[in-house]
Structure 1
Amino acid sequence: MKKNKKKLFAVLLCVLILSSSVVVQAYTESSWLIFPSVEGVTYKGKTSTHGNGSAMWANATTMASKGVAGGRMGSLARLYLNGSLVKSTGVIYNGGGAQSIIASTPTNSTRGNYKAGGTSYIYNPSTGSYSAHTLINSPAQTFSDSEVEIIRNENGEIYGSEYELLLYGIQPDLVSAIGVDGTEGYVKEADINAVPQTLEEALEYTPTAYEVPLYEEDGETVIGTFIVDVPTEAE
């Protein structure tokens, strides 16, 4: 009887060990990208991917060297699955006295290769406008003889994977994306980058989710819908 109890305990222990190993925390991040100083304050940004074993999400972090007034910096986050955009948020701005602002996308549970991207927005009082700094979560690359293929449609618009093209400093007009029902197509870069342009607009801005059309590569034929989500502010 004691032997059976020991065996049962051992089995239960193995089950508990196996169960506890199911949830795996995944985390990768880019290097910090340093931006030009504004009024003596240095800004920087980075992106990171996060996972809990059942879903993935992306963060975009913008940080100042000290606390700054409200609306002086903003973050927008994007999550890519196998090179295609699957989650994108609007921009979120800092409150008064904050030293960082982190935008976080909703989660996605499809299996595949995930990367994070995003944009940092820095307000410059001398110009009265924001400068946008593209963030990308990728290993450092060395220039070589390799070439990136740039494909244009009949309207002259560049289309393809935003993640891959941004590695070469190319912003596509039509971004490869996966719609709400799993349809693969393209969203217009201008549609997913609608952000306030002035400090006054940023301070009054309330992020809301909105739909944008999902197109074929011609940028005209609508085949579905993509959602630009409300960003959540990560701690």
Structure 2
Amino acid sequence: MNKKISVTVAAAAVVVSASVGFIATQALADTAPSDPQPTHAPYKHNQAGESYGSDVGIRSLSEEPTLIAAIGVHGKHGYVRSNELNLPSPKSPEDAVRQMKNQSARSIDVYEADSKTVIDTFLIGAPDGASVVSK
């Protein structure tokens, strides 16, 4: 008789535990936003309509501004073009390997927020004293 009570109590405990877990999961799901908001501050826009600002807090490249905040080699604060900073995504694993093998240090311009005035140079993948392939 004691075995029967123990089995019944254990089964009831499992049902209660599962129910509590389900209710807690549902409560969390009900409070989670269905459309998560960006984690970065709203971007400013220049006269050409291009967004500019920091890319800190973005979750994907689609959230990047057109002009990303950067500091050039001479210490000037400005912006680099995201399409110059980010190489095209590889189309296949072989393409990715090829890109990695052919990757060399390079430089891109640092602009004022107007995206026209070049104020400095930004080095990508260049250790101190390394030669750089200019754009």
Mapping for residues 122-201 of structure 1, pairs under 5 Å? 148-164=41-57, 166=58, 170-195=63-88, 197-199=90-92, 200-201=94-95
SS of 2:121's partner is strand
1:204 aligned residue: 98
1:8 aligned residue: none
TM score, norm. by length of structure 1: 0.33
Runs of 4+ more than 6 Å apart: none
Task: For structure 2, list consecutive stretches of 5 or more residues without a partner in the other structure.
Answer: 1-32, 128-135
SS of 2:63's partner is coil
The structure in which a higher percent of residues are helix is 2
Pairwise CA RMSD of aligned residues? 3.0
Between the aligned partners of 2:88 and 2:49, the Cα distance in structure 1 is 25
Q: Which amino acid aligns with 2:68?
A: V
Q: Measured at CA, do residues 208 and 156 of structure 1 come closer, stay the same or move farther in structure 2, by a change above 3 Å?
A: same
2:113 aligned residue: 217
Mapping for residues 1-235 of structure 1, pairs under 5 Å? 148-164=41-57, 166=58, 170-195=63-88, 197-199=90-92, 200-205=94-99, 206=101, 207-229=103-125
Shift of 1:218: 0.9
Between the aligned partners of 1:195 and 1:148, the Cα distance in structure 2 is 26
Task: For structure 1, list consecutive stretches of 5 or more residues without a partner in the other structure.
Answer: 1-141
The structure in which a higher percent of residues are strand is 1
Larger Rg: 2
TM score, norm. by length of structure 2: 0.55
- What are the superposed Cα offsets for residues 27-49 of structure 1, whole Å, 9 maximum, x if unpaired? xxxxxxxxxxxxxxxxxxxxxxx
SS of 1:163's partner is coil
- What are the superposed Cα offsets for residues 164-222 of structure 1, whole Å, 9 maximum, x if unpaired? 4x269731000000001111000000011014532233232322110000000011111
Q: Measured at CA, do residues 196 and 171 of structure 1 come closer, stay the same or move farther in structure 2, by a change above 3 Å?
A: closer
SS of 2:56's partner is helix
Q: Which amino acid aligns with 2:124?
A: V
Shift of 1:148: 3.4
- What are the superposed Cα offsets for residues 124-181 of structure 1, whole Å, 9 maximum, x if unpaired? xxxxxxxxxxxxxxxxxx979xx933311111111001114x2697310000000011
